[in-house]
Amino acid sequence: MVIDAIRSDPEWKNGDYTETPRGWIVGYNILRMMIDSIAALQSEVPDGPAADRFLAVNRATSEHVDANDILYSLKSSFSYNPEPGLSRIEARLFALNFSDDEFNPDRLQVLETVVPKLARGRFIVQEGTPSSPGHFTMTRPDLWATQVAEFMARLGDSTPSSEK
């Protein structure tokens, strides 16, 4: 929907635009609704005036992001599939997802399926909280820093991960 909103906008001019295409502004609103958790959105946008502020902030934010960069980013994920090469990864890996992330929804069980294929992989799904902003919980280290610190503390340890 975001790609279509950008590409179908005559202001996009096949990527040769000089002002932010309105289609990208609409697309950004779609992304925000996909990325934010429901609880965070309800807290941030409880009524009409708050919705107007939310849309105004989104409009201002989207004007500082290149629509062509977003197209490239979204399109590049269409055929991306690291799974065939995962068993060759030897480095320790820590994957962190958030239960209220609608952009990478945990209910798809991707980490549970993929990370066990890594000899030294570990993952955690951080439970959402009333204040966690879904995908943007990555901007809230107060909610996940402990898990990352524990992983980093083990990086210098030469004990095989299966023995920990």
> 14 pLDDT exceeds 90?
yes
pLDDT confidence bin for 57, thresholds 50/70/90: very high
Q: What is the pLDDT of residue 154?
A: 87
Residue 86 tokens, joined: 């995962």
Contact yes or no for 38/130 (Cβ under 8 A): no
The residue ranges of DSSP E strands in the chain, in sequence order, are 93-98, 121-126
Q: Kindly state the average pLDDT of the residues 33-56.
A: 91
Contact yes or no for 163/137 (Cβ under 8 A): no
Q: Kindly state the average pLDDT of the residues 151-157.
A: 86
- Could you give the count of Cα atoms lying within 13 Å of 31 in the half-sphere of its Cβ? 22
> 163 pLDDT exceeds 50?
no
Write out pLDDT tens, residues 72-89. Answer: 999 998 888 888 988 899
Q: What is the pLDDT of residue 129?
A: 86
* C-beta neighbour count of 101 within 10 angstroms: 23
Write out pLDDT tens, residues 103-133. Answer: 889 999 999 999 999 989 999 999 988 888 8
Tell me which of 37 and 59 has the higher pLDDT: 59
Residue 116 tokens, joined: 């066990």
Q: What is the pLDDT of residue 159?
A: 58
Q: Which residues of 54-88 are buried (b: 16+ CB within 10 A; e: fewer)?
A: beeebeeebeeeebbebbeeeeeeeeeeeeeeeee
Q: Which residues contact 139 (CB under 8 A, 6 or more apart)?
A: 133
Q: Which residues of 107-137 are buried (b: 16+ CB within 10 A; e: fewer)?
A: eeeebeeebeebbebbbbebebbeebbbbbb
Tell me which of 77 and 67 has the higher pLDDT: 67
Q: What is the pLDDT of residue 102?
A: 86
Of 19-23, 115-119, 152-156, 159-163, the poorest mean pLDDT is in 159-163
> 34 pLDDT exceeds 90?
no
* Mean pLDDT, all residues of the chain: 90
Contact yes or no for 37/134 (Cβ under 8 A): yes
